[in-house]
Amino acid sequence: MKLMEICNTNSNYMKYYRLYEYTDNICVLEDNPLYPGLLNYVKTGLLTREELIDALEYNKDVEQ
Amino acid sequence: MDKKLFSEMENNLRNIIEETGLSDRKIFLFGHCAATLELTDLLEDEGLSVTAILDNSSEKQGLVYKGAEVVAPDKIIDLAGTDPENNSIVLITSRFYASMQKQLRELGYTGPIRKLIDYNTYAEYSLSEETIKRMTAREKHGEDLTKELILKHGHVFKVFCPFNALGDIYIMMSYWNSFAKMREIDNPVFCVSGRVLADIIHMFGDYPVEVYEQKELDSMIQAAIYTQDKDSYIAHQDRPYVINLHRALYIKKIPFEQIYCCGVFGLPVGTVPEIPKYGRKEYKYLDRIEEGKSVIFSPYAKSVTAIDAGIWKDAVSYYSGEGFKCFTNVVVDEAPLEGTEALDVPLPEMISVLEKAGTFIGIRSGLCDVVRTANCKKIALYPDYNYCDTKWKAIDIYSIDGFENIALEDGDTWEKIRKRIQW
């Protein structure tokens, strides 16, 4: 699937993302009032923006 | 593991044995966790042994449990040998079943992969019409349940607590009021998956609580996500899949309380957690406890690797020899440690028991959170395991102020542990 299609919140990929977890290949970074997210750590100073990017990019299946 | 899940695991295992005749296959388990170890025990009871436990964590690889070594998942290709379809099987008890299944197929493993517990109803790695149809029906069911909730309570703010864990609920509630003030929420209804969780919530206030079966609650949460219901909040640190706070732990150590304070609720560092208003009810059989000369042991935790029985036995023997009366905190039919009396205390009364007893020694579980404000000697013992799939040890994340926090090491005995206590 293409990144732009997922970024478009009207796309089926985003619609299905909210219906169930159909893949673990997507990590959505959003500031959603309905549930917590990584941006809370940046807002509260626990993570820097650089650390946020590192956290998003981290691949646990690969020895870092 | 709670009884219902254990029973689900037993039934599924029985079906798999009937269907595939496990004795003729090499058995692999995926994910070195408490549930996997329980499954190993269950297989042993059936006269079956595990060939290897697969795990992506290099920290866990090399560990051995009942003869089964923890190895990297790619090792399965060699270990399963030729004809994996007929000679091997992978059994999974983890909530990450879908991603584990995907990884095994990507590695080229072609043998059967079976889920023993349906821990995670949110995930199915497919976009087939049939899956979408089933997931749509599940979401609609969630919407219906939510409508019923609104019919009963009127226009309320729904707080979803997706996971049945005492510690999560206790810490969540200790920051709830600060969050509610920040968001101007004054009409919450808490939705949980276990009656005991309602007891914890009621320690903090007279809030309405609705208790659901786990799968029903999951479907309501999914409906809230799908409809983007702004009168809801999912107050958890790593469930369901839309919550990605756990990723921060891959690069930084964040204590459990800060995960809730800053991560779940977005509250400033230093926000003072609330102490339960109704957490000090008096236990009605308090006269059983000898004041200042009793020890309450808490050896059981549903999601944590058990501590060697010899350590508990020696600890009981030590305190009995010192003239202490020893009790084991048990729930329903759990057996008390030998040489102790069973004590089944409602959670809001537990602090009164500990404060009269004078000493508490427990495996680090949610109960330790519930009694964290008790004024007595408290020891939390941490088995040597990693927090989820991170590099941090349990003690790094779960350490509690006011407790002696003791990480267990290989070959530990009660005598060695006692020397590390700093009283």
pLDDT tier at A62, thresholds 50, 70, 90? low
Alpha-carbon distance of B250 to B267, in angstroms, equals: 22
Cβ atoms of B354 and B400 closer than 8 Å: no
Structure tokens belonging to residue A18: 């909210």
Q: What is the ipTM of this complex?
A: 0.89
Check if B232 contacts A (Cβ < 8 Å): yes
Average pLDDT, chain B: 93
Closest-CA distance, B24 to chain A, in angstroms, reads: 31
How many helices (DSSP H) and strands (DSSP E) are in chain A?
Answer: 4, 0
Least confident of A8-12, B68-72, B109-113, B276-280: A8-12
What pLDDT, in 10s, does the model give residues B393-408?
999 999 999 999 999 9
What pLDDT, in 10s, does the model give residues B354-390?
999 999 999 999 999 999 999 999 999 998 888 888 8
CB pairs under 8 A between A and B: 132
What pLDDT, in 10s, does the model give residues B16-62?
998 888 888 999 999 988 788 889 999 999 999 999 999 988 778 88
Task: Collect all residues of chain B within an 8 Å Cβ-Cβ radius of residue A22.
Answer: 123-127, 131
Is the torsion defined by CA of B365, B115, B238, A36 positive or negative? negative
For residue A5, the model assigns a pLDDT of 54
Closest-CA distance, B236 to chain A, in angstroms, reads: 8
More confident call, B180 vs A25 = B180
Closest-CA distance, A52 to chain B, in angstroms, reads: 7
CB spacing of B124 vs A22 below 8 angstroms = yes
For residue B23, the model assigns a pLDDT of 87
Check if B230 contacts A (Cβ < 8 Å): yes
What pLDDT, in 10s, does the model give residues B191-234?
999 999 999 999 999 999 999 999 999 999 999 999 999 999 99
Task: Collect all residues of chain B within an 8 Å Cβ-Cβ radius of residue A41.
Answer: 245, 248, 254, 262-263
Alpha-carbon distance of B240 to B38, in angstroms, equals: 24
**In the predicted structure, residue A64 carries a pLDDT above the cut 60:** no
**Residue % of chain B over a pLDDT of 90:** 79
Structure tokens belonging to residue B141: 């069911």
What pLDDT, in 10s, does the model give residues A1-55?
455 555 566 677 889 999 999 988 888 899 999 999 999 999 999 999 999 999 9
Closest-CA distance, A28 to chain B, in angstroms, reads: 7
Check if A62 contacts B (Cβ < 8 Å): no
CB spacing of B225 vs A35 below 8 angstroms = yes
CB spacing of B268 vs A21 below 8 angstroms = no
Alpha-carbon distance of B238 to B246, in angstroms, equals: 6
For residue B63, the model assigns a pLDDT of 85
User: Which residues, other chains included, contact A42 with Cβ-Cβ below 8 Å and sequence gap of 6+?
Assistant: A48, A49, A52
pLDDT tier at B309, thresholds 50, 70, 90? very high
For residue B59, the model assigns a pLDDT of 74
CB spacing of B250 vs A60 below 8 angstroms = yes
Q: Counting Cβ atoms within 10 Å, is residue A37 exposed (0-12), middle (13-18) or buried (19+)?
A: buried
CB spacing of A34 vs B125 below 8 angstroms = no
User: DSSP H helical segments within A1-64, as ranges?
Assistant: 3-7, 12-17, 39-43, 49-57
Task: Collect all residues of chain B within an 8 Å Cβ-Cβ radius of residue A63.
Answer: 58
Q: pTM higher than 0.90 for the full model?
A: no
Q: Which residue of B has its CA nearest to A49?
A: B248
Structure tokens belonging to residue B121: 């109803």
**In the predicted structure, residue B136 carries a pLDDT above the cut 90:** yes
Check if A36 contacts B (Cβ < 8 Å): yes
Structure tokens belonging to residue B341: 């009396």
Q: Counting Cβ atoms within 10 Å, is residue A11 exposed (0-12), middle (13-18) or buried (19+)?
A: middle
Task: Collect all residues of chain B within an 8 Å Cβ-Cβ radius of residue A47.
Answer: 248, 252
CB spacing of B122 vs A20 below 8 angstroms = yes
Alpha-carbon distance of B261 to B174, in angstroms, equals: 9
Closest-CA distance, A6 to chain B, in angstroms, reads: 14
- End-to-end CA gap in chain A: 26
**In the predicted structure, residue B341 carries a pLDDT above the cut 50:** yes
Pairing between β-strand B26-30 and β-strand B404-407 as defined by DSSP bridges: unpaired
**In the predicted structure, residue B260 carries a pLDDT above the cut 70:** yes
What pLDDT, in 10s, does the model give residues B82-98?
999 999 999 999 888 88
Instruction: Point out the residue among B230, B247, B262 whose CB comes nearest to the CB of A55.
Output: B247
User: Which residues, other chains included, contact A62 with Cβ-Cβ below 8 Å and sequence gap of 6+?
Assistant: none
For residue B95, the model assigns a pLDDT of 80
SS3 category, B197: helix
Check if A31 contacts B (Cβ < 8 Å): no
Rounded mean pLDDT, B268-282: 94
Check if B233 contacts A (Cβ < 8 Å): yes
